Structure 1
């Protein structure tokens, strides 16, 4: 096969796969390849503000999860939260591609970004802000490592962005609570997984005698 036809075939097969994990992937032109240009990881630009002293003091008096982070009562909007990051090319997410746990596409834009959490802590559809950042984050995903903790995993479109974020304790403000009812409906079809059973059990316990959707 001549080099021209090989490059055309590579573009048809590889580029859609790479693009499925986010728009930050740089695709080299044929001229760039001939000139020996390499791909330089881009740097994610964000500013995260230091949590307020008052909130830090309040957090010190609360019960803690396994990461020694405060456990808040449902409905408390201002929180100190442990955050991590993930991307769709990781081994434990690659089978799902660019889809989240609700079956829609993971989001990463200047306005809205996807996040994963234990849905019994942050029900699906919960919207929050991180102090110092302009974007809104929406909980539309979950992960087995998050179950039983208040940790929130932020979606990143590439490995470079994921590694740059690392692990950070941040102040968040819940703008709108999601729905326990919708969370339970989704999880009832996935009880073959222990983390889904655990989230569902916790959600059903919280739903008992209360409204399915938190008041805003």
Structure 2
């Protein structure tokens, strides 16, 4: 498979409670914890509420103030200053609240794949959902195939996903050497041996292992 940042791939889904994964629990091939991806939230947009136009704007304020006594003018100035302080405080509180409501960065999910095609650490986005995944797992049924298995937190989520051909965007490619380092010690498993051979560019030997 040609290496390209934009691809359309066959995707499936799995979870840690499947019978063939019970022995490993919720652990990936690196020994870490499997993570389900979250859908990113849209950017928080502050919508300003429209305020009614005051009838006072239609009056000649300079003329009205000129007719006031000194005491009334001082009282009016004091009131205006207090109102300004309240607005400033309210504005600061509003900004603080807006900051606290900022969308959290999405959680990166775990994905299983053939490490000779998508090396461990490869990070990609599923364009239809916006979810981001990182390849940190593999599976015996994935070696030699253009399929990526997406980890789901439950069987319900797994079944809802099913099998889909999805466009993905590779954000960053993983490390082939790191993939080899992990897999070389596991070559007693045929699918690991096949990935090792493919990573070593021994494609004919790899294809012979079915």
| Fold shared per TM-score above 0.5 | yes
Shift of 1:109: 4.1
Equivalence for 1:56: none
Q: Which protein has greater RCO, CA pairs closer than 8 Å, 6+ apart?
A: 2
Does the 8 A contact of 2:37 with 2:110 survive in 1? no
1:131 aligns with 2:130: no
Higher fraction of helix: 2
Three-state SS of the structure 1 residue aligned to 2:136 is strand
Name the counterpart of 1:161: 157
Match of 2:176?
Answer: 180
Give the equivalent residue in structure 2 for 1:73: 2
Runs (4+) off by over 6 Å: none
Partner of 2:21: 93
What runs of 5+ residues in structure 2 fail to find an aligned partner?
Answer: 39-105, 203-210
What's 2:33 paired with?
Answer: 105
1:70-102 CA-partner distances (Å, limit 9, x unpaired)? xx312x111110000000011111100010001
**Where does 1:23-102 land on structure 2 (aligned, <5 Å)?**
72-74=1-3, 76-102=4-30
The number of aligned residues is 134
Question: TM-score, with normalisation over the residues of structure 1?
Answer: 0.60
* CA distance in structure 2 between the aligned counterparts of 1:152 and 1:172, rounded to whole angstroms: 10
Kept after mapping to 1: 8 A contact 2:37/2:132:
no
Contact 2:128 2:166 in 1 (8 A): no
**What is the root-mean-square deviation in Å for CA atoms of aligned residues?**
1.1
Unaligned runs of 5+ in 1: 1-71, 207-216
Aligned to 2:73: none
Larger radius of gyration: 2
Q: Deviations over 1:122-173 (max 9, x none)?
A: 0000000011222210000000101111100000011100000000001001
Residues 1:145 and 2:73 are matched in the alignment? no
Aligned counterpart in structure 2 of residue 202 of structure 1, from 190, 198, 201: 198
User: TM-score scaled by structure 2?
Assistant: 0.62
